[in-house]
Amino acid sequence: MPEAGNQSRIVTTPLEMLRRVTRDMAVTPELPVLLNSIASALAEHTGAVFVRVFLWQTDDECDVCRARSEEAGALPPGMKSLHLHADAGDMRGVFREHHKLPLEAPAPPSKVARERKPFLTNELLRDARGQVPPELLRFYEENGIVAAGARPLEFRGELMGIIGMLNRRPFDPEEFELLGIFADQAAMAIKSALLFAELRRYKERLQEENAYLQEEIRSERGFEEIVGHSSALRTVLKKVKQVAPVET
């Protein structure tokens, strides 16, 4: 009888983790709020000490890159890379200066972006040796990092971004598998937020153009009314019309 109870707990615990992570993901069209809630929910309910959320973008599409207006490290127009937009966990802020991860970088998020497949290792030091720069391997060792996982965020075949996680304990493979469901929901929410932001930009542009056209119309009407009610201006305008065709 106790064995059945233990088996029940083993089965439901990963499902409970998935339920809590999904529940804590913010339902909002505000992209920064959404991405931060994804990172925070994963850090809190998976036990990961470091969670990062990247978006697959060009430099022009990235708000951070546009705000920085940096020429150094800028990619050619249209070329995409992974852009860090949110992180959470005990190690939050680490690598914050490395905002962009190129596709060829020797890191789990880049590997997942290249292959479009999830990645999980509970033997990070063994698997990373010889595959990553020595300083990164030393960082893992000094911080007791033993496990790494990453999942693609895809919506209808389009890569939206990557979730990357590091941990000081092994990840539960069943939990990690269930996170695929969460990743699908997160990708859908990200796509919706991006579309909402695009619509908002179009609306703002239309409002600006409409305001400009209204001002032009008011200016033209104002000039006609001034001319129409001023006999002096009508006289000047008549003389201008008479002189204009004369060649000098």
* 248 residues of the chain, pLDDT tens digit each: 444 443 333 334 777 877 888 887 877 889 999 999 999 999 988 889 999 999 999 998 998 888 876 555 567 778 999 999 999 999 999 888 889 999 998 889 999 999 999 999 999 999 999 888 899 999 999 999 999 999 999 999 999 999 999 999 999 998 899 899 999 999 999 999 999 888 888 888 888 888 888 777 777 655 555 555 566 666 666 665 565 555 54
Report the alpha-carbon distance of residue 235 to residue 230 in Å, rounded: 9
Which structure tokens are listed for 101?
């991860």
Rounded to whole angstroms, the Cα distance separating 32 from 22 reads 17
pLDDT value, residue 11 = 38
The type of residue at 105 is: A
Q: What pLDDT was estimated at residue 243?
A: 56
Q: Count of residues for the chain? A: 248
pLDDT at residue 119 in the model: 96
Question: Residue 52's CB: how many other CB atoms inside 10 A?
Answer: 29
In DSSP terms, 213 is beta-bridged to none
Q: Which two tokens stand for residue 239?
A: 């003389």
Per-residue pLDDT at 232: 65
d(CA 146, CA 171): 9
Among the listed residues 59, 18, 30, the one whose alpha carbon sits nearest the alpha carbon of residue 192 = 30
- Residue closest to 64 by CA, chosen among 107, 103, 30, 98: 98
Question: What whole-number distance in Å separates Cα of residue 21 and Cα of residue 185?
Answer: 11
Name beta bridge partners: 153. 161
Q: pTM of the prediction?
A: 0.76
According to the model, what pLDDT value does residue 233 have?
62
In 1-117, alpha helices (H):
2-24, 31-46, 63-68, 108-115
Adjacency order of strands within the sheet including 50-58: 100-101, 80-88, 50-58, 158-167, 147-155, 119-121
CA gap 231, 68 in Å, rounded: 57
Q: What is the pLDDT of residue 15?
A: 75
CA gap 224, 182 in Å, rounded: 63
Of 8, 17, 7, 6, nearest in space to 178 by CA: 17
